[in-house]
Amino acid sequence: MLGFAVLLTSGCNKTDSNQTPGQKLDSAIAKTEQAAAEAKVQGEQSGAEIKAKTEAAFAKAGSALKNATENAESSSQVVANKTLNKIDDMAITTAISAELLKDAEIKLFRINVDTKDGAVTLKGSVPSDNVRARAAAIAKTFSGVQSVDNQLVVNSN
Protein backbone atom coordinates (compact mmCIF):
# COMPACT_ATOMS: atom_id res chain seq x y z
CA MET A 1 0.00 0.00 0.00
CA LEU A 2 2.89 2.33 0.79
CA GLY A 3 4.34 1.67 -2.68
CA PHE A 4 1.02 2.57 -4.25
CA ALA A 5 0.92 5.83 -2.30
CA VAL A 6 4.48 6.67 -3.31
CA LEU A 7 3.66 5.93 -6.93
CA LEU A 8 0.58 8.10 -6.72
CA THR A 9 2.41 10.99 -5.17
CA SER A 10 5.35 10.68 -7.52
CA GLY A 11 2.94 10.88 -10.42
CA CYS A 12 1.44 13.96 -8.86
CA ASN A 13 4.82 15.66 -8.38
CA LYS A 14 5.58 15.72 -12.10
CA THR A 15 5.21 19.09 -13.55
CA ASP A 16 2.80 18.92 -16.42
CA SER A 17 1.00 22.17 -16.93
CA ASN A 18 -1.69 20.75 -19.17
CA GLN A 19 -3.02 18.12 -16.66
CA THR A 20 -5.19 18.70 -13.68
CA PRO A 21 -4.37 16.93 -10.39
CA GLY A 22 -7.23 14.46 -11.07
CA GLN A 23 -5.87 13.67 -14.51
CA LYS A 24 -2.42 13.17 -13.03
CA LEU A 25 -3.92 10.77 -10.47
CA ASP A 26 -5.77 8.88 -13.22
CA SER A 27 -2.57 8.63 -15.25
CA ALA A 28 -0.64 7.31 -12.23
CA ILE A 29 -3.35 4.68 -11.57
CA ALA A 30 -3.30 3.60 -15.22
CA LYS A 31 0.50 3.24 -15.11
CA THR A 32 0.24 1.23 -11.89
CA GLU A 33 -2.37 -1.07 -13.41
CA GLN A 34 -0.22 -1.52 -16.51
CA ALA A 35 2.84 -2.36 -14.39
CA ALA A 36 0.78 -4.84 -12.35
CA ALA A 37 -0.53 -6.49 -15.53
CA GLU A 38 3.01 -6.76 -16.92
CA ALA A 39 4.23 -8.26 -13.62
CA LYS A 40 1.36 -10.73 -13.71
CA VAL A 41 2.23 -11.79 -17.28
CA GLN A 42 5.90 -12.18 -16.33
CA GLY A 43 4.90 -14.22 -13.28
CA GLU A 44 2.66 -16.43 -15.38
CA GLN A 45 5.44 -16.91 -17.94
CA SER A 46 7.94 -17.75 -15.21
CA GLY A 47 5.43 -20.12 -13.65
CA ALA A 48 4.81 -21.77 -17.02
CA GLU A 49 8.57 -22.11 -17.59
CA ILE A 50 9.06 -23.62 -14.14
CA LYS A 51 6.14 -25.98 -14.73
CA ALA A 52 7.53 -27.04 -18.13
CA LYS A 53 11.00 -27.61 -16.67
CA THR A 54 9.56 -29.58 -13.77
CA GLU A 55 7.45 -31.72 -16.09
CA ALA A 56 10.47 -32.32 -18.33
CA ALA A 57 12.56 -33.33 -15.31
CA PHE A 58 9.85 -35.71 -14.11
CA ALA A 59 9.49 -37.17 -17.60
CA LYS A 60 13.24 -37.69 -17.81
CA ALA A 61 13.32 -39.29 -14.36
CA GLY A 62 10.35 -41.48 -15.27
CA SER A 63 12.05 -42.55 -18.48
CA ALA A 64 15.27 -43.36 -16.61
CA LEU A 65 13.32 -45.37 -14.05
CA LYS A 66 11.45 -47.22 -16.81
CA ASN A 67 14.73 -48.04 -18.58
CA ALA A 68 16.33 -49.21 -15.35
CA THR A 69 13.31 -51.40 -14.61
CA GLU A 70 13.32 -52.86 -18.12
CA ASN A 71 17.07 -53.54 -17.90
CA ALA A 72 16.61 -55.24 -14.53
CA GLU A 73 13.72 -57.32 -15.87
CA SER A 74 15.74 -58.24 -18.96
CA SER A 75 18.75 -59.23 -16.85
CA SER A 76 16.52 -61.27 -14.57
CA GLN A 77 14.95 -62.97 -17.57
CA VAL A 78 18.38 -63.85 -18.98
CA VAL A 79 19.47 -65.34 -15.65
CA ALA A 80 16.20 -67.24 -15.34
CA ASN A 81 16.52 -68.59 -18.87
CA LYS A 82 20.11 -69.70 -18.27
CA THR A 83 19.07 -71.43 -15.06
CA LEU A 84 16.17 -73.17 -16.81
CA ASN A 85 18.49 -74.23 -19.63
CA LYS A 86 20.91 -75.75 -17.11
CA ILE A 87 18.07 -77.56 -15.38
CA ASP A 88 16.73 -78.75 -18.75
CA ASP A 89 20.22 -79.91 -19.75
CA MET A 90 20.61 -81.82 -16.48
CA ALA A 91 17.19 -83.42 -16.95
CA ILE A 92 18.03 -84.43 -20.52
CA THR A 93 21.39 -85.89 -19.47
CA THR A 94 19.80 -87.83 -16.60
CA ALA A 95 16.93 -89.14 -18.73
CA ILE A 96 19.21 -90.30 -21.56
CA SER A 97 21.67 -91.94 -19.14
CA ALA A 98 18.81 -93.77 -17.40
CA GLU A 99 17.38 -94.94 -20.72
CA LEU A 100 20.78 -96.18 -21.91
CA LEU A 101 21.11 -98.20 -18.69
CA LYS A 102 17.74 -99.84 -19.36
CA ASP A 103 18.85 -101.12 -22.78
CA ALA A 104 20.18 -104.70 -22.53
CA GLU A 105 22.91 -104.21 -25.15
CA ILE A 106 24.07 -100.76 -24.07
CA LYS A 107 23.99 -101.03 -20.26
CA LEU A 108 27.18 -103.12 -20.25
CA PHE A 109 29.22 -100.19 -21.64
CA ARG A 110 30.16 -96.96 -20.02
CA ILE A 111 28.70 -94.11 -22.06
CA ASN A 112 29.23 -90.53 -20.91
CA VAL A 113 26.30 -88.21 -21.72
CA ASP A 114 26.79 -84.43 -21.67
CA THR A 115 24.20 -81.81 -22.60
CA LYS A 116 24.63 -78.08 -23.20
CA ASP A 117 21.77 -75.95 -24.50
CA GLY A 118 20.01 -79.08 -25.76
CA ALA A 119 23.07 -80.35 -27.67
CA VAL A 120 23.86 -83.88 -26.45
CA THR A 121 27.34 -85.39 -26.71
CA LEU A 122 27.89 -89.12 -26.30
CA LYS A 123 31.43 -90.28 -25.40
CA GLY A 124 32.90 -93.66 -24.62
CA SER A 125 33.59 -96.94 -26.38
CA VAL A 126 31.16 -99.56 -27.61
CA PRO A 127 31.69 -102.95 -29.31
CA SER A 128 29.86 -102.29 -32.60
CA ASP A 129 28.41 -99.73 -35.00
CA ASN A 130 24.98 -101.13 -34.15
CA VAL A 131 25.36 -100.24 -30.44
CA ARG A 132 26.82 -96.82 -31.38
CA ALA A 133 23.85 -96.03 -33.65
CA ARG A 134 21.34 -97.36 -31.11
CA ALA A 135 22.72 -95.09 -28.35
CA ALA A 136 22.41 -92.05 -30.63
CA ALA A 137 18.86 -93.03 -31.61
CA ILE A 138 17.85 -93.31 -27.96
CA ALA A 139 19.34 -89.86 -27.22
CA LYS A 140 17.40 -88.25 -30.09
CA THR A 141 14.02 -89.39 -28.73
CA PHE A 142 13.96 -86.99 -25.75
CA SER A 143 12.16 -83.67 -25.70
CA GLY A 144 14.53 -80.72 -25.60
CA VAL A 145 17.31 -82.47 -27.51
CA GLN A 146 18.42 -80.17 -30.30
CA SER A 147 21.24 -82.33 -31.67
CA VAL A 148 23.32 -85.41 -30.86
CA ASP A 149 27.09 -85.47 -31.35
CA ASN A 150 27.90 -89.18 -31.34
CA GLN A 151 31.57 -89.43 -30.37
CA LEU A 152 31.31 -93.09 -29.35
CA VAL A 153 34.29 -95.09 -30.53
CA VAL A 154 33.78 -98.63 -31.81
CA ASN A 155 36.25 -100.88 -30.01
CA SER A 156 36.44 -104.34 -31.52
CA ASN A 157 38.32 -106.07 -28.67
Query: What would the pLDDT profile of 49-70 be if each residue is shown by its tens digit?
Result: 777 777 777 677 677 777 777 7
Top-confidence residue, 30 or 87: 30
DSSP class per residue in 60-84: HHHHHHHHHHHHHHHHHHHHHHHHH
The secondary element (H helix, E strand) that includes residue 121 is strand 119-126
Give the C-alpha separation, 108 to 135, whole Å: 12
**Predicted TM-score (pTM) of this structure:** 0.49
pLDDT tier, 152 (very low <50, low <70, confident <90, very high otherwise): very high
CB 73 within 8 A of CB 79: no
Query: What would the pLDDT profile of 9-32 be if each residue is shown by its tens digit?
Result: 444 454 556 888 878 777 777 788
Q: What are phi and psi of 5, to 5 degrees?
A: -65, -40
Cβ neighbours around 135 below 10 Å, total: 25
Question: What is the strand order of the sheet 111-116 is part of?
Answer: 111-116, 119-126, 147-154
